[in-house]
Chain A
């Protein structure tokens, strides 16, 4: 079946810009706020937010990446072990405001693992969640995002795929509806 475009390049850009202003509304000039992107796909959202925010605020903002492989709850339930990506948190998160950034919020399990992984670095003052796409009504855990780029209602058999210029040639979001369920 043909994939359906949910957000095209221009819409992705607009959405990210709106998310930046929403972040600024709550975090002012980001002096006590750090953005942390989830490996491997959340970091692309983070990079774009960082560029836009720094342009608007006119000063650098602190960012990091987090890998959640060792904190997942599906270890030994998958056929292959997941080889981890790099975690870059070379700063103190104690008493800081953290905004976790990911591309798609689906079951909430990644975020649960991410919170677990994050707390291994210290005790932040507050943790918020930003997601580019929210697959509403698909949650396994009671987790919601504070900042949502685009909300989409999907069936469990459908797949949302976020593509990025660096890896796929273009920033765009697709919804795949397979004929046979693949989940």
Chain B
């Protein structure tokens, strides 16, 4: 089987469907590995990875760190809150300083869209995008698609609705690219103010009615309202948002078929999703977290294979 067509993972947009298949096939093996008594393999013991988080993250950071450690790579962590970035250092300077410590791979999360791509063109290390502003979050999309594939057998031909704050969501954009490349139909659903204007150009359907969207879909991916990215109000109140777009057990039970519920986290229980839905048997939220480690192991492993010795 072929290698990946990419040197860096800056976005799903650059991946071919074959790349995604290679990643998923490798993920299957890593999922076996992380369910063994000894959850570690020695593949990457000569690789050093730097996790550069210029924006807050719990899940993604832990997941990447665990993935790196289970591949036996050396890991250094950096977060901007406790660094010289606060003293006015530029992104390139910060990263170059870290790279002079002989780093082979950089996992970066940054509030500015395009930060990962910018770095990948300027530094001598493999770059993995762990979320760049409202642009892309490729590993999240991969783990979401992998979780759908695991639950339903395949992604092709499935109908997936992404509900919530599409405008500010990198998860939504990466998911749209990834699901479409794998042959799924995608719909976005949310208040008019939180749906970007250009959305039709991506070839997705748009709905402003939650029940209608849920009746259509096989899988619903519920997104969080991104308070940190909203300078102005996009809807009158949380209560009103929940009334219209919050997924409750009543709505779920009233549907004509059993759909699968996903959420990339962090969950705002009682806002976009009610507690009993998040914890229901139809929810695969915790499977997503488990798959996240395996998918990231696969991405790191396959990209590390392309690093010249």
Contacts and interface: CB of A to CB of B under 8 A. Distances in A.
A76 B1 contact: no
Contact of A83 (B1, B40, B43): B1
A67 B29 contact: yes
Interface string A38-76: 000000000000000000000000000001011110011
A76 B309 contact: yes
Interface stretch (B110-118, B129-137, B267-275, B298-306): B298-306
Interface in B1-53: 1-3, 22, 25-26, 29, 32-33, 36-38, 40-44, 46
Nearest to B25: A83
Contact of A70 (B3, B22, B29, B309): B29
Contacts of A81: 3, 301-302, 305
Contacts of A83: 1, 22, 25-26
B305 A120 contact: no
B307 interface: yes
Contacts of A79: 3
A75 B43 contact: yes
A80 B26 CA distance: 13
Given A75-B43, A76-B309, A81-B305, A120 B29 contact: no
Contacts of A67: 29
Contacts of A86: 29, 32
Main secondary structure of the interface of B (DSSP, over half): loop
Contact of B37 (A75, A84, A116, A121): A121
A70 B42 contact: yes
Contacts of A80: 1-3, 305
B239 to A, nearest CB: 50
B269 to A, nearest CB: 37
Given A70-B33, A76-B307, A120 B302 contact: no
A119 to B, nearest CB: 8
B70 to A, nearest CB: 10
B26 A76 contact: no
Nearest to B22: A83
Contacts of A72: 43
Contact of A121 (B25, B38, B41, B42): B38
A120 B43 contact: no
A165 interface: no
Given A67-B29, A80-B2, A120 B309 contact: no
A61 B304 CA distance: 40
Contact of A120 (B25, B38, B301): B38
B35 to A, nearest CB: 10
Interface string B46-88: 1000000000000000000000000100000000000000000
B73 to A, nearest CB: 12
B36 A120 contact: yes
A77 interface: yes
A3 interface: no
A154 B44 CA distance: 33
A8 interface: no
Interface string A13-43: 0000000000000000000000000000000
Contact of B42 (A76, A77, A87, A116): A116
Contacts of B1: 80, 83
A120 B307 contact: no
> Which one of B2, B29, B40, B309 has the greatest number of beta carbons of chain A within 10 Å?
B29
A71 B41 contact: yes
Interface string A64-106: 0001011110011101110110110000000000000000000
Identify the 6 closest CB pairs spanning chains A and B, nearest first: A70-B41, A81-B305, A120-B38, A84-B29, A83-B1, A70-B43
Given A75-B304, A83-B1, A87-B32, 4 more contacts: A70-B33, A76-B46, A84-B29, A122-B37
7 contacts: A70-B301, A72-B43, A80-B305, A81-B302, A81-B305, A120-B36, A120-B40
Interface of A: 67, 69-72, 75-77, 79-81, 83-84, 86-87, 116, 119-122
